[in-house]
Every structure is written in C-alpha cells, then in structure tokens.
Amino acid sequence: MIRRAVLALLLSSAGPALAEDLQLAFPLDCSLGQDCHIQQYMDRDPSPEARDYRCAGLTYDGHKGTDFALPSTAAMHSGVTVRAAAAGVIKGRRDGMADGAPLDAVQGRECGNGVVIDHGGGWESQYCHLKQGSVSVSEGQQVASGEAIGQVGQSGKAAFPHLHLSLRRNGAPVDPFDPASAETCGATPTQSLWQDALPYRPGGLITVGFADQIPDYAAIKAGTADRRALPTDAPALVVFGFSYGTRAGDILRLRLTGPQGEVIEKDVLLGKSQAQSFRAIGKKRRGKAWPAGAYEGSATLLRDGDVIDSLRATLALR
C-alpha cells in the first residue's frame, strides 16, 4: 500500500470563472494527485523562456495545453477513460496511430490519436495522445459534458502516457487555470474555467517502490519494477523514488526501515531540472539473511527546505 503526504506546496487553484464563460469538467477517470498528475501546464511566456501560470517552471517553451499524466504504461494498458470537458459537437477525430511509436516518425501528426470538440461561441477543446483503437466518437456527433470519447494513450509525440488537453477561443490558446491572463505569479488567479478547483503542485512524486537491485528506468516507467515482497536472501534491498517536475537543487530524501530499525537513508541532490526522473539507494546483503518482516520505504521531495511531496510504501520480506 502507498501512503501519500502532500505538504507545504500544495496550493489551491482559483474559483470558477464568470457564468458566461465555458465551464470545464475534469476530463479523466482518475484521482488527481493519486493515480494521475499534471505533468505540464500551459507556457505563458512569449519569449524562448517558459513559465506556467504561477510563474514556475512546470511547462516548456511553446506548450499550448495541460498534460494529465498516468504513472506508468501499465496504467495506460489497464484503460483510463477520457471524457469531454464540456458539451459540444465533434469537429474532428483521428485513430489508428500506435502508442509509443518513435517520436521522429510522427511529424505532422504530433497530436497522435485525438478529438476536437466545438463548444460554440468560438470555443473548442482538443484531446491528444489517445490510445490506439480507443476513440469512441464520430465527426458531427453531439456529446455531453463528461461523455466518454476515448482512453489515455501514448500516440503521437508523447514520451509517456498522458492526455494533452488544449483549449482555444477563436483560434487563440486559453489557459483554463488563468483565462484572464492575470499574471499574478505566486498568488492564486481570481478566475478559472474549471468547474471544480484543481490544486496547483509545482512537481511531486509519482511512486515509491522496492527492488533487489537498482532497477532499469524503462521498467519503472512501465510500472513493472516495484516489488512488494522479496525473499530474506535477496542480494540487496533497494528503495527508489520516481518523480516529476524536479528542479536543479531539489533534494530527494530516500529512506528504508525494517524490523530492526533503519536500513539505509540518504538525501540525493538533484543536479538538473527534469520532467521525469528516478533515484534509488540500496544496501547489499552481507552474509546472513535479512530479518523477516515488514519494511517501510519513503521518498520525500524537498525544494528550498520545503516539502513538496512525500510517499510511503511497505515491503514484506519472507
């Protein structure tokens, strides 16, 4: 079981916008901050630099939407429904592109499998990177807010499973977290297009897990690296933290304790900003078997001395 503590830097988003503006429902069948997270916000900086609506760096240059990410490709394969954020008419759709195809093979089709919905009044929303074969709507079809339109995938220009949701009015990109472009930086904008406020998080942890050796990064992203039971003669005990939105200078604190107390603990300094990354620490077995019983691993992400996110999980040694 994973336990999460969301601490100092989880900040509330703005309240709903004025009634005459478009109102958006949450577009995924997942719990934000639990089994999905916001990987990137819309870039609000017109220069070659990049900043999100809170003047932080959880975006990249030219990003015109919001990326809602899944923790692994295993979660993608299990099927996570994408829903229309507002009622409208299907203006366009595409399906048939493979998930996880080479990024240099999708030129001109970077959105991958996707759907565009016309909401009237100049508003339209676009849903990108849907799973191959999952698009369930047809062009010209009327859809209600919350109606299923596909599943989260990794088609098009996508390095991980996620939904890229972009919003436009009369062809111009609109940030649903700050439609008035208030540029309040550290303060919460007074208006939002979300029906229910979505909390802002400047980065965090995707998972904490265990292994008997330093795991392969591909296995972590696939969701197959984590072992919740190991034999007492395991050659090593390893705890790892998989994070997103980290910045240079962040610290990832990893700790593993067992029936006889602490096994290992270390603060790992992160040397560069990364969209996603993992770090692991471990201890080799010296001779006799590990004590049988319950072990607890934890990962804590700190920035400038503040705790951004913390995850704990348990391991059984038999």
Q: What is the DSSP string of 219-245?
A: HHHHT----SEE-TT-SEEEEEEEEEE
pLDDT band (50, 70, 90) for residue 9: very low
pLDDT band (50, 70, 90) for residue 15: low
d(CA 202, CA 44): 15
d(CA 287, CA 282): 16
pLDDT of residue 59: 95
pLDDT of residue 85: 98
Q: Is it the case that residue 250 has pLDDT exceeding 90?
A: yes
Share of the chain above pLDDT 70, in %: 92
Summarize pLDDT for 118-156 with one digit per residue, the tens.
999 999 999 999 999 999 999 999 999 999 999 999 999
For 171, which DSSP code?
T
Q: Coil, helix or strand for 126?
A: strand
Give the CA angle between residues 304, 270, 211 to the nearest 5°.
120
Tokens standing for 165?
Answer: 């949701």
- Residue 285 half-sphere exposure toward CB, CA atoms < 13 A: 15
pLDDT of residue 80: 98
Q: Is it the case that residue 30 has pLDDT exceeding 90?
A: yes
With a CB cutoff of 8 Å and minimum separation 6, the contacts of 31 are none
User: Which domains, ranges and CATH numbers included, belong to the chain?
Assistant: 13-174 (2.70.70.10), 204-317 (2.60.40.10)
d(CA 215, CA 173): 40
Cβ distance 74 to 65 under 8 Å?
Answer: no
Q: Which of 189, 181, 162, 200 is nearest to 45 (CA)?
A: 181
Q: Coil, helix or strand for 310?
A: strand
Question: What separation in angstroms does the CA of 212 have from each of 178, 284, 285, 315?
Answer: 45, 9, 10, 11
Q: Give the pTM.
A: 0.92
d(CA 253, CA 307): 10
d(CA 1, CA 314): 6
Cβ distance 38 to 58 under 8 Å?
Answer: yes
pLDDT band (50, 70, 90) for residue 13: low
- Indicate left, alpha or beta for 140 from its phi (over 0: left) and psi (-120 to 50: alpha): left
Q: 261 pairs with which residues across the strands?
A: 258
Summarize pLDDT for 193-204 with one digit per residue, the tens.
999 999 999 999
